[in-house]
Amino acid sequence: MRESLQHKKRIVVKIGTSSLIYPNGNINLSGIDELAFVLTDLQNQGKEIILVSSGAIGVGMNKLNLKERPKEIPEQQAVAAVGQSELMTIYNQRFQTYSQQTAQLLLTRDIIEFPQSRENVCNTLEQLIAMGIIPIINENDTVAVDELDHLTKFGDNDQLSAIVSQLTHADLLIVLSDIDGFYSANPVSDPSAILYDEINKITPTLLSQATGKGSPYGTGGMTSKLKAAQRILSSQGQMILANGKHPKIIFDVLAGNQIGTYFFEIEEDNR
């Protein structure tokens, strides 16, 4: 089944904050450069690439020399505004090194709530792809509170990447995190934890095995990744969850190598 991954054309790549920011809070410039190289090379191969990137608050914290994530919503939004600008500057610099044009899209939940907004976003994405431009998408943290630490907290960039995959009818979603895939338990605290090679259905048992967020810079955790996978599976899509420490792993994923956890539905035999 994995050998079919090499034929996927439209690919959404989601990279988490933990892959962009070192544990000490500094920006992982080598990782961002490697990501730019990989995505540009895939684009050069004729694939259609969309990047969903977290990291605005993490980069903002670094820029403002903050050691702890702000707790109040206005503070988080201010830090995100600073960080998003800096993050896009870094992305633009690295992608331009490989002669690849990028574009920024900051989205809010209304892209799926309101048909006209959804159509406008889809049209923009399709046009950018047709022009050979890689869209870089993030939640608009300065106006949305869905993803931030708020009582009405509702989504995150794992969910956003799944939504973008659905809107663009992507062939594959690759979620790069700080873990090798989905485990039966937290591998950090449980040495007997087993890595799932493939998952075909999100069950209550799997959800109970998911852990919370592990990084002070990010918002997602294994639960959010399973929910993203559930959304992908509901639309007959496919998703890979893999470690984003070295983004060149994307090449191995698309080559069909046994990497990460592969989420896909098994077609029922109607005979």
Residue list for the binding site:
14, 54, 141, 157, 177-178, 219-225
Q: Where are the alpha helices (DSSP H) in 145-235?
A: 157-167, 204-209, 222-234
Return the bridge partners of 209, or none: none
Dihedral-angle region of residue 132 (phi above 0 means left; psi in -120 to 50 means alpha; beta otherwise):
left
Q: How far is CA 72 from the centre of its chain?
A: 25
Residue with tokens 């992305």: 91
Helix 222-234 / helix 157-167 crossing angle, nearest 10 deg: 10
- Residue in the structure block whose two tokens are 């702890």: 68
Q: Computed over its alpha carbons, how large is the radius of gyration of the chain?
A: 18
| Rounded distance between C-alpha atoms, residue 118 and residue 98, angstroms | 31
Can you say which residues are annotated as belonging to the binding site for ATP?
Answer: 14, 177-178, 219-225
Give the torsion sign (CA, 48, 54, 60, 66).
negative
| CA dist., res. 238 & res. 271, Å (int) | 24
Percentage helix, strand, coil for the chain under 3-state DSSP, each rounded to 5:
40, 15, 40
Under 8 Å between Cβ of 14 and 173: yes
Give the strand pairing for 134-139 and 172-177.
unpaired
Q: Which residues are annotated as a binding site for substrate?
A: 54, 141, 157
Dist CA 239 CA 171 (whole Å): 9
| Contact call for residues 182 and 195 (beta carbons, < 8 A) | yes
